[in-house]
Amino acid sequence: MSRPLSIALISETYPPEVNGVANTLGRLHAGLQQLGHRVQVVRPRQPGDDGRRSDAELLLTRGWPLPGYPGLQWGMSSLHKLLRCWKRQRPDVLYIATEGPLGFSALRAARRLGIPAVSGFHTNFQQYSEHYGFGPLTRLVTGYLRWFHNRTQMTLVPSGSQRMELQRRGFERLNLLSRGVDSQLFHPSRRDSELRRRWGLGEQDIAVLHVGRLAAEKNLGLLGGSFRALCAAHPQLKLRLVLVGDGPERKHLERDLPEALFCGVQRGETLAAHYASGDLFLFPSLSETFGNVVLEAQAAGLAVVAFDQAAAGQHIRHGHNGVLAAPGDNAGFVEVASWLLGDQERLRRVRLNARQHASRQGWESIVEHFQNYLEDACASPLLQPAPARPERPPAEDGGALPRSRE
């Protein structure tokens, strides 16, 4: 690092809000500060901000609720407010994590002031529109996202599959920035026999876990169907479906899955205990740019069942530290999950391998890679392609292998 940078992080969501974008931004923020950089966060006011004022490290903006996402909001900031702030305290570079009104204003301000801006593609909003009754707008949303990101120095994407998809849609200057996991927080040692007892499970029983937002775009219809198929295929096992998280689909799921336990949102060590107290992790989502929960589940020692894309495609070696199904192959998803449950020694071995793999996926190298991209943006001609960096080498034990059975 040649010198400390002054960096503005712009996002419509931020900790303590619970979602993958907020979690990632919190980790990147803390990591940049540890490396000696000056960081200003620009975000909407949150319920805990009553009476809090903006300062050199935090610029608070107005916001309004995001439909279908209680507790989250679009950020609202006038262009003039950002111009005023950044003329007084000019950042070296912006990182714009969200493409809503706040991100749009930040991009305009960056172009007006000649400040390099790097964007992050954290959410597949073009896919979400199909799940919320706005299918005809999908092309319009995709066009806006392409327009937005192509006006930044570069766009950081979390997986190779996401990059290929965006390249196909005309997005330019894409670079990989993966995600890490806190393998000390998410650890098998946090397994809680008392928690499992409250779930109605003994040590030899199987907790089938899902952690995430309970929303339409998460393909949760497959969750219940898969669980019931597993119960039918393995009547000798006592299985319990445990869902951690909340969202607009919770009431619908509670009605459709009366046999499931709904634990709501969990955080920190309590969340880590819920992970570690599980055995099998079902992740049916097809809309993720990454899916941080895959690494968290692996770090906690769970066998993950997922589709072969995003984080799962990057970090699961099929049959070794988890299992994969071809995207959209619902029958295959159930089949590979059943294969895991068919042999308890096999399940134990896959869980051990998952933990070993995740323990090597820390945030330190991710933050350093992020720092390098920001430095590249500062050193490049404004709004011209930044020099491409080579991809990070594939994570050990990562990547999908041909389908196999023992």
Continuous segment of H or E residues that includes residue 69? strand 69-76
Q: State the number of CA atoms in the 13 A half-sphere of 130 facing the CB.
A: 11
pLDDT digits (tens, 9 = 90+) for 87-133: 999 999 999 999 989 999 999 999 999 999 999 998 865 454 454 45
pLDDT of residue 366: 95
Equal fold, 6-180+363-379 vs 188-358: yes
Closest Cα to residue 211, out of 282, 153, 132? Answer: 282
Cβ burial of 57 (10 Å; 0-12, 13-18, 19+) is exposed
CA distance linking residue 39 with residue 4, whole number of Å: 10
Residue 81: which residues within 8 A CB-CB, separation 6 or more? 61
Domain boundaries, given as residue ranges, for the chain: 6-180+363-379, 188-358
Distance from chain centroid for Cα 70: 18
Residue 96: which residues within 8 A CB-CB, separation 6 or more? 10, 11, 103, 106, 107, 110, 117, 118, 119, 120, 152
pLDDT digits (tens, 9 = 90+) for 138-196: 788 889 999 999 999 999 999 888 899 999 999 999 999 999 999 999 999 999 999 99
- Looking at this protein, which amino acid is placed at residue 349? R
pLDDT of residue 123: 80
pLDDT of residue 207: 98
Distances (CA, A) of 1 to 32, 79, 371: 12, 31, 8
Closest Cα to residue 265, out of 213, 223, 300, 191? Answer: 213
Closest Cα to residue 241, out of 233, 255, 231? Answer: 231
Distances (CA, A) of 217 to 46, 100, 325: 25, 19, 18
Residue 236: which residues within 8 A CB-CB, separation 6 or more? none
Q: What are phi and psi of 197, to 5 degrees?
A: -60, -40
Distances (CA, A) of 150 to 82, 172, 242, 290, 388: 21, 6, 41, 21, 15
CA triple 33-37-40, angle to 5 deg: 80
DSSP of 16-33? TS-SHHHHHHHHHHHHHH
CA distance linking residue 300 with residue 278, whole number of Å: 9
Three-state secondary structure call for residue 155: strand
Regarding the domain delimited by 188-358, which CATH topology (the fold level of the hierarchy) does it fall under?
Rossmann fold (3.40.50)
pLDDT of residue 299: 98
Using the Cα atoms of residue 97, residue 382, residue 393 and residue 33 in order, give the sign of their dihedral.
Answer: negative
- What residues in the chain have per-residue pLDDT under 70? 1-2, 51, 66-74, 124-136, 383-406
For the domain covering 6-180+363-379, report its CATH number.
Answer: 3.40.50.2000
pLDDT of residue 399: 38
